[in-house]
Each structure stands twice: as C-alpha cells, then as structure tokens.
Amino acid sequence: MRKTLVISFSLRNTYRVNAILYSLRQIPILKRLLVQSLYKVRALKVIANIFSFVWEVLSAFLGKFLYFATMITGLNLLYENQNPNEVFLHILLFLTIIGAFMNTYMFNPTKDKYYAMILMRMNSKSYTLVNYGYSILKVIIGFMPFAIYFGLSKGLIIWQCILIPFFVASAKVAFAASALIYYEKTSCVANENSMDKFKWIAAGLLLIAAYVLPVLGVVIGQSYALLIMILFVVLGIVSVVKIISFQKYHEMYRLILANSMMQMENAKELSKQLSQKSISENTLVSSNKKGFEFLNDIFIKRHKKILWKSSIRITIIFSFAVLGLLAALFIEPSIKQSVQKFIFEYFTYTVIIMYSINRGSGFTSALFMNCDHSLLTYSFYKHPRQILKLFTIRLKEIIKINLIPAIVVSIGISLSLYVAGGAPHTWLYAVIILCILSMSIVFSVHYLTLYYLLQPYNAATKMKSAIYPIIMYATYFLCIILMNIRLSVTYFCLIMIVVCIIYSITACALVYFLAPKTFRLRT
Amino acid sequence: MYLKIEHLSKKFEKKQVLNDICFTFESGKIYGLLGRNGAGKTTFFNCLNRDITFESGNFYLGDNNILRRITSEDIGYVLSVPAVPEFLTAREFVKFFLDINKGVIDEIQPIDKYFDYIGIEAEDRDKLLKDYSHGMKNKMQMLVNIIAKPNILLLDEPLTSLDVVVAEEMKLLLRSLKEERIIILSTHIMDLALDLCDDIVLLNHGILEAVDKNNLSSAEFKEKIITALKEETHA
C-alpha cells in the first residue's frame, strides 16, 4: 500500500511538474530564458515542485472555502425570513447529494489514472483504494475548518459542524459503492464526464429543492437534517466494505479510461466537428459582393446561428427585462425610489453585463476554426494589404453584431432611470447611453485586436500562446474590478467613454502596424 | 528560370536545422526533397514561404540574367493536410480567389473550366467544402495554388494520404505543370520520389545535396540514397 501511494504520488507529481514547466515556456519572455532541456534542470524542478505542492494544498481547501462562502452561506442571505441554521443545513444536504454523484473521484476518468493503471500497468485495486482513500481524506480535512467556521456562524453547535465533513465524505462513498454494485449487476459503468440525462434531471431537481423550497417556506427541520446526515454516515461506513471487497476495478477502469481516452484523442476532431456544425448547410445563401466583402458576407450568413441569432436572442431577453421593469414601475410606483437608487449604486455592473453578452470571442474562434485556419496557409491571404482590409470589414461586422443588444441595454437603463425618478441632469441619459455603447465597441475591438495581434493557434488548431489565455482571464478580472469600483455614475461614464475611445484607437493603430507580421499561423 | 537560395540558416534553440544552405533549383524539373523524419523538410519550406523567421538567408528568382528577390506571389505552397475554407462552396472559393487576384492572374477563365481541369465533378462544385473528401479538398488546394501560376510550387508530402486514383491524377497534373516553373516536393517515401521526380535532393544534417543518378539502375540508385542518408547520420 505504501509503495503504491509513493509511486502514484510521484507519477502525478512528475507530470504536474512537467506541465508547469511547459506552461512557463509558453510565456514569450520566459521562453527565451528557459531552454528546452529545462525538464532536467534541478532548481527549476524544485520550484515547480513547490508550485505543485501549493496547488495540492490549495485544491484541498480553496474550493471548499468558495463552496461554503458562496453556494451555501452566500445564497443563504437571500432567505431572510427563515431560520439560518436550518436553511444552511437544508442547502448543504441537497448540494451534497448532487456532489455525491457528480463529483466522485472514483468515476472521474483522469489522465493520472490512465497513466498509472493502463500505461504503467499498476495494480488497479490497490491504486484505486489508495488514491480514493486519499481523495476522501482530502474531502474530510478540506471541509473541516470551513464547516466549523461557517457552521458556528450559522448557529450550529460544534459536533454538528464536525458531522458535516463526514457526511459529505460518506455520501460520496455510499454513491461510489452503489455504482460498483450496479456495475456488477449490469456491466454499466458510471462516468463523471458522460453523465446520462437522468442524472442531469436529478441534479436539476435537487438544485431546485435546495434553493427554491426555502423561498416557498419549505425547509427541512434541523433535527431531521441531522438525522439524515447521521444515516448517511452509517451508510458510508457500510459502503467502505463494498469498496474494499470489490474485485473488478481493473476491468471497470479499462472501460472508463478507454472511453474517455478515446474522447481525448478525438477531442481535436470533436472541436473541429463542433465548429463545422456551426456552419449552416444552406448553400443557397449568396452574395453580390466581391473579394473580401464577399468572403465576409458569406461567412456571416453561414454562421448566423452563432453570431446574429444569439445576439438577437440576447436583445429579445433584454427587451423583455426592460419592459418588465417598466411595467413594474408603473404598477408599483413604490419601488421607483429603490430602482433609481439601484441604478445609481450598481451602474458599474454594466461592465460585466457588456462583457458577458459580447460575441467577440465566439466570433474570433469561429473565424479561426472555419476560415482563417485554412486561408492563412495561402500566401495571397497573408498579404499585408489584404490582412488590413479584412480586419476593417470584420471590425465593422463584430461591432454591428454587438451594438444591437447594447442599444437595448443602454436605452433600457436610461428609460428606467427616467421613469423611476430621473437623473439629476438631462445630459446624463445621453452619457449613460454613450458609455454603454462605447463599452460594447471596446469589447468588440478588444477581442478582434487580440486575435489579430496574437493569433494564438497553429495549423492543427492547437492553442500555442500562453499570453492569449492570460489576457482573456485578465480581461475578466479587470471587469470584476471595474464592477466593484464605487464611483458616481457621471464620473464612471465619462471616464469609461474616454478610456474606450483611447483604447479603440490605440488597438486599431497597433493592428495596422503589427498585424501584417503577427497574423500568421503559429508553428 | 531558377530559384537561388543563399546561406539559409535556421535553428531551433541550440539545434541547427538548416545549416548555411546554398542551392539552385531550376525550372522544368520536379525536385524530390528526401530526408529522414525530423530532418527539417517542412522547416525548409516554411522558411522559403516566410512563414517562420530564420537567422540568415536570401532567396532569388533568376531569369535571363536578371536576379530579383522572391515575393509571396511567386510561391504556391501545398500542405500535406489540405486546408480549405470549410464554410464556402468550391465555386465560392474559386470566385473569391479570382476576385482578389484580379490583375495578378493573366487570363481569367470561367470557373467551370478550372473545375474541369482539376477534375471536380459538376454535381460537387456547389457543395460546401466541409463536405468534401480528403482527396477532393486536396484537389481544391492544388487548384487555388496553380490558378495564379506561381513560379515556384512547394508541395509538402503531397500524395501520401491520397487514394491511388487521386494520387495518379495528381502525378499527371504535376508533370504537366513542371514546364514553366520550379516544383519541389518533400517526401520520405523513396519510391514516390523516384517515380515522380526528375532530381533527388537530400536534406540531412541541415544541408541540401543533390544525388547524381549517373546511369545507375533504380535499385542501385536507391541503395546510394540510403547509404548517403545513413552515412551522413553517423558522420
């Protein structure tokens, strides 16, 4: 057992360390500093090992903290009229049951299992028992501090808090054991990555039970909740016997891993198929335009489903939301003041709204997968003049696609503000509209510019840039920061308009100067 | 007409892939670029096509004692995995290509004439390219690369994944194209190189070297190539 533990740990650590080193090398500045032989440099290995260890610890605690802070305690705040410790246990109970079959460890076809049990031919049973035991231990240890902290803050007593991690672990073990029994009887194997629709429906229903029932005033009483938890712990202990005595781990994992490794092999093919699926089969679509206008026109028409249709769908949803809000303001004038206050206080949230509804990243990835990926292999397409011409055409198109929902959002907010009591200055309505429209434009410019300046894929449609995803994440975090800035609407809008104009001009200038060199297939 | 390569060097980190290559390719011939896996055949093509940067090197096109630098219009590059814009029909692709190359192509023909020439059936011409077979995509890629009549045609492992019928059609096509241009095809399949190419050039240890046939029988010639590749590997 100890030997298995050591081997599986060092195996997992080795590929994690190599993955860290590989990622480091994808960052341009570091790439020059780090040679290809870095995988054997001891000092680097030590650093990567530290990262790997930190990751292991973080993965044990961070996720659990976020889970408690948002899913359970955070959303608990919505139910002000209910007993907080009962709602806490109620939500926890249902979410734990979802987690028990959606996040099992045992039926998750990961690469480390594939390497160990299939490639390295380790003994499946001892590998599984050791690693499964470790993962369950991680659940108990990871949950414990937060269960105690959040439990006590919700008014539970200490033994009830300590019960929580054991309940979560037992629910997982009980589900795993039942899935093993089911496999023995039917030869059907559970797989986390390809769940059937019944499990999704069950998860949906349990989610509704967790969050909607308390709204309706239905909450499981504390003593019942505790009883259920204790029963699960008993069931969990009994289930351990099944997990230890189960003899067919080898054949079961061959099935789980064969399927999913095939999926991994086919992942490239699948993503290709997926992007191909987004092409409309309609060959009757035509265009009277010529050259690049023709190319763009046909591209947009054959990708209507993922570009215009989704933009129109978003527009319709926002239109209904605005109409609903306006109707509510007319029917219930008492809410006017709070709506007005809400718009003023939370106006910065429009950043994240404009970020989430922008079709820019979908547009650029469809552009690459279905168009540029192939055309960039032809020299006529890479001519600087042609690159810039097409950039201009595409920029206009992506701005148009995103402006329609932006117009509805901006007019909707201004109109709601007007009806809800008005802005202190009339010009503020125009500034609000202008601000939201410029945010929409800047996101469109941002995605297309990034694509032209960093073109992150190679001919095999594999992402070869580390900077590109980093900037994508940074964009998201920047939006979150902007969202949380507390600034008056007037200042916020004026600053945003200026920033957007400067950013858009700079970005386009960069494309004009650099894209002829950067807009290439990566090698 | 000839393609002159001067002092082409390319390295990946410390590995010297192309080592000060100087070589001249002449028109009217199909050159078979032979090399072992990883020898740098694709890198060589990528450098010529300026898809990647390189440490040193110049490429010229010479004709009637006039030497000029190569432009992107001079080169047609056919990849082993055919890349065609899948959302277009074959007709739309050719139309788009002709549109933007107006003025560059001498005598533009009706689109169907091009299809007749490359052997794409009438019923397939208005199908989306995503529904094309591998061989048909290959023909389309080839067609677009030859419509503009580039002076140099680079083919990276061109026939390896085609069925026998399409492969034979492609061979005939390449032979018919060689008259007024320089054709270089890379392959690691020796029989294909011997069957189709007029001259064999080895790429080994970053250097290009023509192999002289010198009245050898085809078996002897094969033996000579293998020996050369083996010797240089151990050199």
Phi, psi of A204 (to 5 degrees): -60, -45
Range picked from A130-144, B184-198, B212-226 for highest mean pLDDT: A130-144
Whether B87 sits inside 8 A of A290 (CB atoms) is no
Phi, psi of B117 (to 5 degrees): -65, -45
Instruction: Give the number of other Cβ atoms within 10 Å of residue A401's Cβ.
Output: 22
Query: What's the confidence (pLDDT) of residue B230?
Result: 78
Range with the lowest mean pLDDT among A114-123, A319-328, B139-148, B173-182? A114-123
Query: What's the confidence (pLDDT) of residue B234?
Result: 46
Whether A371 sits inside 8 A of B85 (CB atoms) is yes
Pairing mode, strands B2-12 and B56-63: antiparallel
Query: What's the confidence (pLDDT) of residue B124?
Result: 92
Query: What's the confidence (pLDDT) of residue A278?
Result: 67
Q: What confidence tens digit (pLDDT) does each residue in A28-59 have?
A: 676 666 666 667 777 777 887 888 888 888 88
Is B173 an 8 Å CB contact of chain A? no
**CB A456, CB A464: distance < 8 Å:** yes
Nearest CA in chain A to B51: A520
Chain A from 8 to 37: CB within 8 A of any B CB: 35-36
The distance of A299 to chain B (nearest Cα, Å) reads 7
3-state DSSP assignment of residue A260: helix
Using the predicted structure, report yes or no on whether residue A259 has a pLDDT greater than 80: no
Q: What confidence tens digit (pLDDT) does each residue in A321-378 have?
A: 999 989 988 888 888 888 888 888 888 889 989 998 888 888 888 888 888 888 888 8
Range picked from A141-145, B142-146, B155-159 for highest mean pLDDT: A141-145
Confidence of residue A227 (pLDDT cuts 50, 70, 90): very high
Q: Using the 8-state DSSP alphabet, how is residue B39 labeled?
A: S
For residue A225, which of A101, A92, A100, A95 has the smallest C-alpha distance? A92
Using the predicted structure, report yes or no on whether residue A453 has a pLDDT greater than 50: yes
In this prediction, residues A133-137 reach a mean pLDDT of: 92
- What is the count of residue pairs from A and B with beta carbons less than 8 Å apart? 73
Nearest CA in chain B to A299: B87
Whether A374 sits inside 8 A of B85 (CB atoms) is yes
CA distance linking residue A447 with residue B205, whole number of Å: 43
Is residue A31 packed enough to be buried (19+ CB in 10 Å), middle (13-18) or exposed (0-12)? middle
Query: What's the confidence (pLDDT) of residue B72?
Result: 80
In this prediction, residues A456-468 reach a mean pLDDT of: 77
Q: Provide DSSP, A319-369.
A: HHHHHHHHHHHHH-GGGHHHHHHHHHHTGGGHHHHHHHH--HHHHHHHHII
Whether B128 sits inside 8 A of A281 (CB atoms) is yes
Whether A380 sits inside 8 A of B72 (CB atoms) is yes
Whether A295 sits inside 8 A of B96 (CB atoms) is yes
Using the predicted structure, report yes or no on whether residue A66 has a pLDDT greater than 80: yes
Is B96 an 8 Å CB contact of chain A? yes
Is B101 an 8 Å CB contact of chain A? yes
Is B105 an 8 Å CB contact of chain A? no
Looking at this protein, which amino acid is placed at residue A479?
Answer: C
Two structure tokens written together for B228: 């050369």
Evaluated on CA atoms A373, A377, A378, A383, the torsion sign reads positive
Nearest CA in chain A to B79: A377
From the candidates B87, B152, B154, B157, which should be mutated to test the interface with A, based on the most A CB atoms within 10 A?
B87
Is B108 an 8 Å CB contact of chain A? no
Q: What confidence tens digit (pLDDT) does each residue in B32-86 have?
A: 998 888 888 989 998 998 888 889 999 999 988 888 998 888 888 888 888 888 8
Using the predicted structure, report yes or no on whether residue A266 has a pLDDT greater than 60: no
Confidence of residue A235 (pLDDT cuts 50, 70, 90): very high
Whether A370 sits inside 8 A of B85 (CB atoms) is yes
Range picked from A80-94, A459-473, A495-509, B186-200 for highest mean pLDDT: A495-509
In this prediction, residues B192-197 reach a mean pLDDT of: 86
Is A45 an 8 Å CB contact of chain B? no
Is B148 an 8 Å CB contact of chain A? yes
Nearest Cβ partner for B100 among A374, A380, A520: A380
ipTM: 0.82
Pairing mode, strands B152-156 and B2-12: unpaired
Q: What confidence tens digit (pLDDT) does each residue in A191-219 have?
A: 777 777 788 889 889 988 888 788 777 88
Q: CA B101, B104, B109, B113: dihedral to nearest 10 degrees?
A: -70
Whether A379 sits inside 8 A of B97 (CB atoms) is no
Nearest CA in chain B to A380: B73
Domains and CATH numbers, chain B: 2-234 (3.40.50.300)
Q: How far is CA A83 from the centre of its chain?
A: 32
Is A303 an 8 Å CB contact of chain B? yes
Is B127 an 8 Å CB contact of chain A? yes
Looking at this protein, which amino acid is placed at residue B50?
Answer: R
CA distance linking residue A364 with residue A290, whole number of Å: 22
Nearest Cβ partner for A279 among B75, B87, B95: B87
Nearest Cβ partner for A520 among B51, B84, B95: B51
Whether A374 sits inside 8 A of B86 (CB atoms) is yes
For residue A189, which of A198, A178, A180 has the smallest C-alpha distance? A180
Chain B positions touching A523 (Cβ under 8 A) are 46, 51-52
CA triple A329-A334-A338, angle to 5 deg = 80
- Domain coordinates in residue numbering, chain A: 60-265, 291-518
Question: How much is the mean pLDDT over chain A?
Answer: 85
CA distance linking residue B228 with residue A378, whole number of Å: 34
Query: What's the confidence (pLDDT) of residue A373?
Result: 85
Query: What's the confidence (pLDDT) of residue A112?
Result: 80
Query: What's the confidence (pLDDT) of residue A485?
Result: 83
Query: What's the confidence (pLDDT) of residue A520?
Result: 83
Q: CA A30, A35, A40, A44: dihedral to nearest 10 degrees?
A: -20
Is A290 an 8 Å CB contact of chain B? yes
Query: What's the confidence (pLDDT) of residue A10?
Result: 81
Two structure tokens written together for A123: 């003994």
Nearest Cβ partner for B87 among A299, A382, A523: A299
Is A295 an 8 Å CB contact of chain B? yes
Is A80 an 8 Å CB contact of chain B? no
Whether A379 sits inside 8 A of B72 (CB atoms) is yes
Query: What's the confidence (pLDDT) of residue A240?
Result: 94
Confidence of residue B106 (pLDDT cuts 50, 70, 90): confident
Nearest Cβ partner for B99 among A279, A283, A291: A291
The distance of B149 to chain A (nearest Cα, Å) reads 12
The distance of B54 to chain A (nearest Cα, Å) reads 13
Nearest Cβ partner for B86 among A35, A370, A521: A370
Query: What's the confidence (pLDDT) of residue B152?
Result: 92
Nearest Cβ partner for A370 among B81, B87, B148: B87
Question: How much is the mean pLDDT over chain B?
Answer: 86
Instruction: Return the higher-pLDDT residue of B230 and A501.
Output: A501
**CB A511, CB A452: distance < 8 Å:** yes
Query: What's the confidence (pLDDT) of residue B235?
Result: 42
- Give the C-alpha distances (Å, rounded to integers) separating B58 from B5, B22, B39: 6, 9, 21
Is A385 an 8 Å CB contact of chain B? no
Confidence of residue A242 (pLDDT cuts 50, 70, 90): very high
Alpha helix positions (H), A103-157: 111-113, 124-153
Q: Using the 8-state DSSP alphabet, how is residue B108 labeled?
A: P
**CB A72, CB A91: distance < 8 Å:** yes
Q: What confidence tens digit (pLDDT) does each residue in A419-440 have?
A: 988 888 889 999 999 999 999 9
**CB A359, CB A312: distance < 8 Å:** no
Buried b (16+ CB within 10 A) or exposed e, B138-157: bbbbbbbbbbbbbbbbbbbb
Q: What confidence tens digit (pLDDT) does each residue in A170-195 have?
A: 999 999 999 999 998 988 888 777 77
Using the predicted structure, report yes or no on whether residue A75 has a pLDDT greater than 80: no
Query: What's the confidence (pLDDT) of residue A77?
Result: 63
The distance of A521 to chain B (nearest Cα, Å) reads 8
Whether B86 sits inside 8 A of A279 (CB atoms) is yes
Using the predicted structure, report yes or no on whether residue A234 has a pLDDT greater than 60: yes
Using the predicted structure, report yes or no on whether residue B131 has a pLDDT greater than 70: yes
Q: What confidence tens digit (pLDDT) does each residue in A273-322 have?
A: 656 666 766 667 778 888 888 998 998 888 887 778 888 988 999 999 99
